Chains A and B, each alone.
Chain A
Amino acid sequence: MSIFVDKNTKVVVIGLTGKAGSFHAAQCKAYGTQIVAGVTPGKGGIIHDGIPVFNTVHEAVNATGADCALIFVPPPGAADAIVGSADAGVPFIVAITEGIPVLDMVWARKEADARGVTLLGPNCPGIVTPGECKIGIAPGFIHKRGKVGIVSRSGTLTYEAVYQTTQLGLGQSTAVGIGGDPVHGLNHVDVLKRFNADPETEGIILIGEIGGPDEQNAAKYIKEHVKKPVVAFIAGAAAPAGKRMGHAGAIVEGKSGTAQAKKEALKAAGALVAETAADIGPLMKKALG
């Protein structure tokens, strides 16, 4: 079983006619994802790469029944696209955009929550259920359907974990990139809950990084609820305090945000902590026998 999305998921791409939207929509489609509509204000009525374009998300949803929005809108309009999708009643929203002002996200997250929809990202690679659908920018070809659930704050580290588990013959049930921004939608715990309940997922890889309380909360949840093996990796042990390491959310402020504190919390919760990114796959292989 996959989590959040599957082969029946119908995707509307917001910002379809832009460079990133165009390229990745085509890639997703080639992977087998149902891309049913695009939204670009002012371009409603055209067909772009075989995909009908609408002026608003509301129109796109009415016409196509899309139940997932994939957002490639540049930062100044991205929060608006998130709220617009939520307001149109799209239940699952994936925001790829990197660089959205934090205060915009505070507001967008609130609006999304108020409408009861689920937000993934922003500043994330999206979600892949191998063999069913790819919604986002992950390279599809490294995936292989299997038994490991992956949840990660980093795009390239998600790929690293996907690649390793594919090479080791374990495969993935679903790989979820939750994104590197300080204010985001789904967090580690939200995804852990779904993997924990998913019978196809036998082991879980959790990839975190410095900054924020997400991993500590995940440790607490793992300790209380998860019986499946969890392999955790935290990036950023060698990063200096106070410096932003690429991701807006990766900045150490106070002790709980350090890689050391996160690793200790996860270890204490019973997770197997990979010391370097190279150990992630092998540790999971060992845990699953």
Chain B
Amino acid sequence: MKLLEHEAKAVLRKSGMVVPVGKVVVSPEEVAPALAELGLTEAVLKAQVFTGGRGKAGGVKLFSGAAEGAEIVKKLIGATLVTHQTGPAGEKVGSLLLESKTAIAREIYCSILLDREANAPVLVLSAEGGMEIEEIAETHPEKILKMHPPVGHDLWSFQVLRACNFLSITGETAKEFALVLNQLWKVYQQYDASLLEINPLVVDKDGHVVLLDCKFIVDDNAEYRQKGLGDADADKTAAEIESAKYGLSYVSLDGTVGCMVNGAGLAMATLDLIASVGLMPANFLDVGGSANEEAVTKAFEIVLTDDKVQVILVNIFGGIMKCDIIAQGVINAARKLGVKVPIVVRLQGTNVAEGRKLLAESGLALISADGLDDAAKKVAEAAKGVKA
């Protein structure tokens, strides 16, 4: 689950860290009262979107006076921001964060994320704040400091000292900075973050540490104990939300070949298989190993009702999942919604004979495939038929 900037900052503020004062606005009329409430005359408006790179895309604007601010809100609310991370579809702006300006003396990069090599979270720091860390890591790895904080404890004092030395932070600012690092580490653990990125963390003209922007992703596996942090569905499509209710793992993609598969690995391999014959998948869909007939029916309904889909591939290796349950789900959904596109079905594994029999006797026009190769070939043929 990703948090929007204002949701993330609410967590940071609650945890005792200094973030600029601000208020969320969704209409031009809210600008004047927000400025009055915060005691500001000039401020910054920041589009509340999940993508990075919003500044360059025009999603962050400085303004002076309520009239100018209202104009910006009018323009940005409902607008679509296209950044290098969103792809051409972009991301729609639903709200803006109106925030006080910060007099920046220097910008620092700071994040905590999982280091998969070490099987432990890692604190990443760089003096090159405001930049893309991936780029720095590539070109100037020596400008990055990485340390593994101790799980369940504050940072070691030597780690704090190393951080301050590395970034040349001294005096009162160093004391504040040490406090912030420990608080961030606490927040990372307390809220099951998988990424907590402060970029930039700034030192203002008075030497105070301010967290100017925040990217906060909560581990999906921990959502059951992190309720109420943000809107878990905010960055998902309608189909993704619907499928999650049935315990299905669904991701919307841009292509034309719909698919339904069991197992995440086989589902990924199926996307690759579709790509290998020059087509593009419309979705990733893993029905999992223990889905019942109802969930499989729902899954297939979601694929059937996707307007992009021109061909469907059902690829099942029944281990725990039984092929006859899959077959029955396909038949239920197809009977309910009708079938307007060719459907290629490859079944293998547990109860495969029963599954194939059900499909053969269903009266549905299905294309049966033997192995993975055969399935790919038949999908390609079917796609040609659709285009012609």
Contacts and interface: CB of A to CB of B under 8 A. Distances in A.
B321 to A, nearest CB: 9
Interface string B184-226: 0000010010100000000000000000000000011110110
B115 to A, nearest CB: 9
B265 A139 contact: no
Nearest to B349: A139
B360 interface: no
Interface in B129-165: 134, 137, 151-152
A158 B320 CA distance: 13
Contacts of B249: 246
Instruction: Determine the main DSSP class of B at the interface with A.
Output: mixed
Contact of A160 (B151, B266, B274, B320): B266
Interface string A97-118: 0011111011101100000000
Contact of A183 (B116, B222, B268, B349): B116
Interface string A148-186: 000011111111100100000000000000001011000
A163 B348 contact: yes
Contacts of B10: none
A226 to B, nearest CB: 21
A67 to B, nearest CB: 24
A220 interface: no
A235 B265 contact: yes
A105 B194 CA distance: 13
B253 A275 contact: no
Given A212-B116, A278-B372, A154 B319 contact: no
Nearest to B116: A212
Contacts of B219: 101-103, 248
Interface in A225-240: 233, 235-240
B208 to A, nearest CB: 31
A259 B272 CA distance: 10
B16 interface: no
A102 B119 CA distance: 9
Q: Residue among B116, B264, B318 with the most chain A CB within 10 A?
A: B264
A250 interface: yes
A142 B281 CA distance: 29
B269 interface: yes
A199 interface: no
Interface in A105-135: 105-107, 109-110, 125
Given A125-B319, A246-B286, A154 B275 contact: no
B15 interface: no
Interface string A232-270: 010111111011111111100010000100000000000
B373 A139 contact: no
B224 A75 contact: yes
A-B complex: 10 closest residue pairs judged by Cβ atoms: A154-B265, A156-B263, A246-B264, A278-B372, A156-B266, A235-B268, A101-B222, A157-B265, A139-B319, A238-B271
B117 A160 contact: no
A276 interface: yes
Contact of A157 (B189, B266, B271): B266
A26 interface: no
